[in-house]
């Protein structure tokens, strides 16, 4: 973000601060009770209220911060926020970051008002020490504690820019994280980077079950009800007439108006969850999807959208069949909203509003709303907006509906970005070829240290960590000799193990040896084996290769078969025996099957069933 993002001039260090004529945005001035930074937020997934800072909020004591007795504190609060948004040095905070800092300051100002102070200069070290203890004693997320302690750091940092400032550095030069007594481990343990497997499976299965059991019926009810309402609107009838038309239209469908509204909202959120999880696209990219941005090419489903982190670049993501179901259900659930938008376009003259309506019509995820995202209110027609202002609330509703809880029994704190990370973790855990993942997620580099764009460094680290953990977990029992393995590729790992124990690599600890081995070994699941091939070094053709034909597993040096594959091989044996007894196969085909069973299938099963692991 550029330094002139908000077009604010730094508050002069000396002299009076003329607040009267200062403009914060096109929607607010300095002396207004709220500052609206939404015009500077370019992420379509951020709801409008996330960029509005209010200075007339209710205090713990029941009074309002806008009351005259708190005028000095309110002015100091505004001056600090203004200073943050107008600093001539460094990168300016985004509207979302400003809102987070603002929220922490609200907590702080409630504290000093509860202690009967009317100015920041009245604070002593005893007061700030008491505040620090209060923050540390809270049962809140570690990052929340850091942000609330950081308030004291900012009071000192901007002391020349606000009225009646604090006279000492409450943190004594220490970082907010240190003062908050939050360790890196605390942050890691409390960070919802992804949804745990059991929690995720419960959520996804519940969503799929709901849309398959009730999706068609609810979509039909929504379209029937809303079309009846729109017909009454076009005829110029009253709201009462529209409500009666809605009720009448649902007779015989065994569902009432309230149930339609609730189920439609829950169903649309289920569609959002399914599409988001099974494609792994960013939350902002979800809102770039339109009602017709899905295609089928060569029997593969592709979702089309825009990648906002890379200059709104057009992208497409491969998706499984269930995403096709969810996409078209979402389109059906929101079609009546697009119909109402068409009606508004016809009766609207203002070109700017027509453009807004047209853009809105081209979005997949819509909802009924009392106020449009840009503030236009149409009294004569149904209100439609996108779901960005309600998606987080809807996700929480879904968690409660399906009883999605964590290990402690608390409802899971679901956030849309968790689906992207969970998708990556799922792919890594199932050893999806990294080249496919790179292509699917829309990243450029294949280098192990830079698989993903610099803008996605957090995802890079997550994928790198997850892939190494996954491979180390698979290699450790093999290395320890407790895992039965076979396949032509097993010899390579056995040799690596021997090298370590005879002292060739004795300078490395076992854990370090395994980590290095995990870096060198590729693991790609074929269903009946692990493929260790890597096209970058010429040992395999990669994702478009043979995917390890069973007949090749005892010949190809990239084939590794472990105990976990035994059930798959037992099924392969049953299937091939059945084929031998089939009258539809010729003599030569049966001879080939016998060779595969004798030379590959039986030796593999026997090795995996043997009393001792290979060594």
131-161, pLDDT tens digit by residue?
999 999 998 888 899 999 999 999 999 998 8
Which tens digits make up the pLDDT trace of 27-36?
899 999 999 9
Distance in angstroms (rounded) separating the CA atoms of residues 437 and 78: 46
Higher local confidence (pLDDT), 588 or 68 = 68
Conformational region of residue 299, where left means phi above 0, alpha means psi within -120 to 50, and beta covers everything else: left
pLDDT category at 272 given cuts 50, 70, 90 is very high
Residue 52's H or E segment, with its range, is strand 52-54
246 and 142 inside one domain: no
pLDDT beyond 60 at 205: yes
Among 97-101, 107-111, 239-243, 545-549, the range scoring the smallest mean pLDDT is 545-549
Q: Give the burial class of 579: count Cβ atoms within 10 A of its Cβ; 0-12 exposed, 13-18 middle, 19 or more buried.
A: middle
Q: What are the helix (H) ranges across 348-456?
A: 351-361, 391-402, 417-429, 434-441
pLDDT at 513 over 90: no
Q: How far apart are CA 423 and CA 280, in angstroms?
A: 5
| Residues 6+ positions from 200 with CB-CB distance below 8 Å | 194, 277, 422, 426
Q: What are phi and psi of 116, to 5 degrees?
A: 65, 35
- Which helix (H) or strand (E) element contains residue 98? helix 95-114
The encoded tokens of residue 33 equal 């009770």
Task: Go through the chain and tell me how many residues it has.
Answer: 615
Q: For position 53, what pLDDT does the model report?
A: 94
**Residue-wise over 199-236: b if at least 16 C-beta within 10 A, else e?**
bbebbbebbbebbeebbeebbebbbbbbbbbbebbeee
CA atoms within 13 A on the CB side of 591: 3
Instruction: Give the residue with greater pLDDT, 274 vs 508.
Output: 274
pLDDT at 407: 79
Tell me which residue of 591, 601, 585, 433 sits closest to 523, measured CA to CA. 433
- Helical pair 510-520 and 490-501, crossing angle rounded to 10 deg: 150
Question: Residue 352: its pLDDT value, please?
Answer: 82
The structure tokens 């068409």 sit at 342
Check: CB of residue 144 under 8 Å from CB of residue 101.
Answer: no
Per-residue pLDDT, 62: 92
Please compute the mean of the pLDDT values over residues 223-228 and round it to a whole number: 93
Which 8-state DSSP code applies to residue 530?
Answer: E
Signed CA dihedral, 310, 314, 320, 322: sign only: positive
Q: Is residue 205 part of a domain?
A: yes
φ, ψ at 510 (rounded to 5°)? -60, -40
Residue 390 and residue 526 in one domain: no
pLDDT, tens only, 541-589 = 444 345 557 778 788 877 888 888 888 888 888 888 888 888 877 888 8
Residue 104 placed within a domain: yes
Lowest mean pLDDT among 103-107, 235-239, 248-252, 268-272: 235-239
Same domain for 159 and 215, yes or no, is no
pLDDT at 288 over 80: yes
- The percent of residues above 70 in pLDDT, for the chain, comes to 77
Q: Is 54 helix (H, G, I), strand (E, B) or coil?
A: strand
Which of 20, 101, 113, 19 lies closest to 65, judged by CA?
Answer: 113
Choose between 442 and 445: higher pLDDT. Answer: 442
Q: Given 3-state DSSP classes, what are the helix, strand and coil percentages for the chain, each rounded to the nearest 5?
A: 55, 10, 35
| Mean pLDDT value of segment 314-340 | 90
Residues 489 and 377 occupy one common structural domain: no
Confidence of residue 454 (pLDDT cuts 50, 70, 90): very low
Looking at residue 169, its pLDDT comes to 94
Question: What is the Cα–Cα distance from 441 to 457, expressed in whole angstroms?
Answer: 13
- Ranked by mean pLDDT, the top range of 68-72, 195-199, 589-593 is 68-72
Buried b (16+ CB within 10 A) or exposed e, 298-328: eeebbbebbbbeeeeeebbbebeebbebbbe
Using pLDDT thresholds of 50, 70 and 90, give the confidence band for residue 54.
very high
Mean pLDDT of the region 504-509: 55
Distance CA 597, CA 550 (A): 10
Ranking 433-437, 498-502, 511-515 by mean pLDDT, the lowest is 433-437
Give the per-residue pLDDT at 124: 94
307 — pLDDT class (breaks 50, 70, 90):
confident
| 328: its two tokens | 């078209």
Reply yes or no on whether the pLDDT at 528 is more than 70.
yes
Looking at 111-120, 366-375, 442-451, which range is the least confident one? 442-451
Average the pLDDT over 484-502 and give the result: 76
CA distance 382 to 514: 62
578 and 527 housed in the same domain: yes
8 Å CB contact between 561 and 485: yes
Domain termination site, one of 376, 402, 428? 402
Q: Which domain holds residue 203?
A: 197-402
Question: pTM, whole model, 2 decimals?
Answer: 0.59
Show which of 379, 402, 425 is a domain's final residue. 402
Q: Is residue 412 part of a domain?
A: no
Q: pLDDT digit string (tens) for 208-218? A: 999 999 999 99
Same domain flag for 274 and 163: no
pLDDT of residue 46: 65
Tell me, yes or no, whether 393 and 516 share the same domain. no
Confidence check: pLDDT of 201 > 60: yes
Are 361 and 481 contained in the same domain? no
Helical axes 257-279 vs 391-402, angle rounded to 10°:
100
pLDDT class of 66 with cuts at 50, 70, 90: very high
Q: Residue 257: which residues within 8 A CB-CB, separation 6 or more?
A: 225, 243, 246, 247, 250
Q: Taking 80 as the threshold, does the pLDDT of residue 126 lie above it? A: yes
Residues 203, 163, single domain; the answer is no
Would residue 235 count as lying in a domain? yes
Q: Which of the four pLDDT bands, split at 50, 70 and 90, describes residue 188?
A: low
Phi, psi of 583 (to 5 degrees): -85, -5
Q: Give the strand pairing for 28-29 and 23-25.
A: antiparallel
Residue 505 has pLDDT above 80, yes or no: no
According to the model, what pLDDT value does residue 132 have?
95
Q: 98 to each of 9, 203, 248, 319, how far by Cα in Å?
A: 17, 33, 49, 36
Indicate if 58 and 155 belong to the same structural domain.
yes
Burial of 362 (0-12, 13-18, 19+ CB in 10 A): middle
Residue 356 — very low, low, confident or very high, per pLDDT cuts 50/70/90?
Answer: confident
Tell me if 494 is assigned to some domain: yes
DSSP 285-313: HHTT--TT-EEEETTEEEEEEEEGGGTTE
In this structure, is residue 283 part of a structural domain? yes
Q: Residue 538: its pLDDT value, please?
A: 46
Sort 110 into a burial class: Cβ within 10 Å, 0-12 / 13-18 / 19+: middle
Q: Which residue has the tokens 């009462």?
A: 240
Residue partners of 93: CB distance under 8 A and separation at least 6: 1, 84, 85, 101
Residue 595: CB atoms within 10 A of its CB come to: 11
- Cα 383–384–388 angle (5° rounding)? 130
Domain boundary among 158, 189, 220: 189
Number of domains in the chain: 3
Q: What is the mean pLDDT of the chain?
A: 80
Q: Is residue 552 part of a domain?
A: yes
What are 58's strand-pairing partners?
64
Please indicate, yes or no, if residue 441 is contained in any of the structural domains: no
Helix (H) or strand (E) holding 524: strand 524-525
The reply to whether 131 and 38 lie within a common domain is yes
- 357 and 386 in a single domain? The answer is yes
């Amino acid at each position: 973000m550029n330094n002139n993002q908000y077009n604010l001039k730094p508050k002069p260090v000396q002299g009076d601060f003329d607040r009267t004529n200062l403009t914060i945005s096109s929607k607010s001035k300095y002396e207004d009770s709220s500052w609206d930074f939404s015009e500077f937020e370019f992420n379509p997934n951020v709801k409008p209220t996330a960029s509005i800072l209010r200075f007339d909020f209710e205090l713990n004591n029941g009074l309002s911060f806008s009351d005259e007795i708190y005028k000095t504190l309110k002015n100091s609060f505004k001056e600090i926020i203004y200073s943050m948004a107008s600093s001539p040095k460094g990168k300016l905070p985004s509207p979302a970051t400003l809102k987070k800092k603002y929220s922490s300051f609200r907590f702080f100002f409630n504290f000093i008002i509860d202690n009967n102070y009317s100015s920041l200069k009245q604070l002593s070290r005893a007061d700030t020490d008491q505040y620090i203890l209060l923050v540390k004693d809270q049962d809140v997320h570690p990052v929340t504690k850091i942000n609330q302690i950081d308030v004291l750091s900012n009071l000192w940092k901007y002391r020349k820019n606000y009225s009646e400032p604090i006279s000492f550095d409450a943190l004594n030069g220490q970082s907010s994280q240190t003062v908050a007594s939050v360790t890196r481990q605390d942050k890691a343990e409390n960070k919802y980077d992804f949804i745990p497997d059991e929690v995720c499976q419960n959520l996804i299965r519940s969503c799929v079950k709901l849309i398959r059991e009730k999706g068609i019926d609810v979509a039909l009810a929504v379209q029937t009800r809303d079309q009846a309402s729109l017909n009454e609107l076009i005829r110029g009838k009253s709201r009462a007439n529209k409500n009666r038309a809605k009720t009448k239209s649902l007779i015989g469908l065994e569902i009432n108006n309230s149930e339609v509204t609730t189920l439609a909202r829950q169903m649309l959120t289920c569609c959002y969850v399914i599409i988001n999880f099974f494609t792994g696209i960013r939350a902002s990219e979800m809102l770039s999807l339109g009602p017709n941005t899905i295609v089928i090419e060569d029997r593969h489903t592709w979702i089309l959208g825009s990648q906002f982190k890379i200059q709104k670049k057009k992208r497409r993501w491969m998706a499984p069949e269930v995403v096709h179901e969810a996409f078209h259900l979402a389109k059906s659930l929101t079609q009546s909203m697009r119909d109402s938008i068409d009606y508004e376009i016809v009766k609207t003259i203002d070109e700017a509003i027509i453009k807004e309506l047209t853009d809105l019509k081209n979005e997949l995820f819509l909802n009924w709303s009392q106020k449009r995202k840009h503030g236009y209110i149409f009294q004569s027609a149904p209100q439609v907006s996108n779901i960005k202002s309600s998606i987080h609330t809807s996700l929480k509703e879904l968690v409660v509906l399906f009883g999605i809880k964590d290990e402690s029994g608390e409802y899971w704190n679901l956030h849309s970005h968790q689906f992207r990370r969970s998708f990556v973790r799922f792919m890594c855990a199932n050893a999806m070829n990294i080249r496919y993942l790179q292509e699917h997620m829309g990243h450029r580099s294949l280098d192990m240290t830079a698989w993903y764009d610099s803008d996605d460094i957090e995802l890079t680290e997550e994928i790198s960590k997850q892939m190494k953990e996954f491979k180390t977990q698979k290699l450790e029992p093999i290395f320890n000799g407790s895992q039965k393995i076979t396949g032509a590729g097993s010899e390579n790992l056995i040799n690596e193990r021997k090298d370590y124990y005879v002292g060739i690599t004795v300078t490395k600890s076992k854990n370090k040896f395994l980590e290095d081995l995990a870096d060198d070994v590729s693991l790609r699941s074929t269903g009946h084996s692990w493929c260790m091939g890597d096209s970058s070094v010429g040992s395999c053709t990669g994702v478009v290769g043979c995917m390890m034909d069973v007949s090749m597993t005892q010949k190809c040096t990239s084939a590794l078969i472990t105990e976990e594959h035994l059930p798959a091989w037992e099924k392969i044996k049953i299937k091939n025996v059945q084929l031998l007894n089939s009258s539809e196969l010729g003599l030569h085909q049966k001879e080939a099957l016998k060779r595969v069973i004798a030379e590959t299938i039986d030796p593999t099963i026997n090795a995996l069933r043997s009393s001792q692991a290979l060594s």
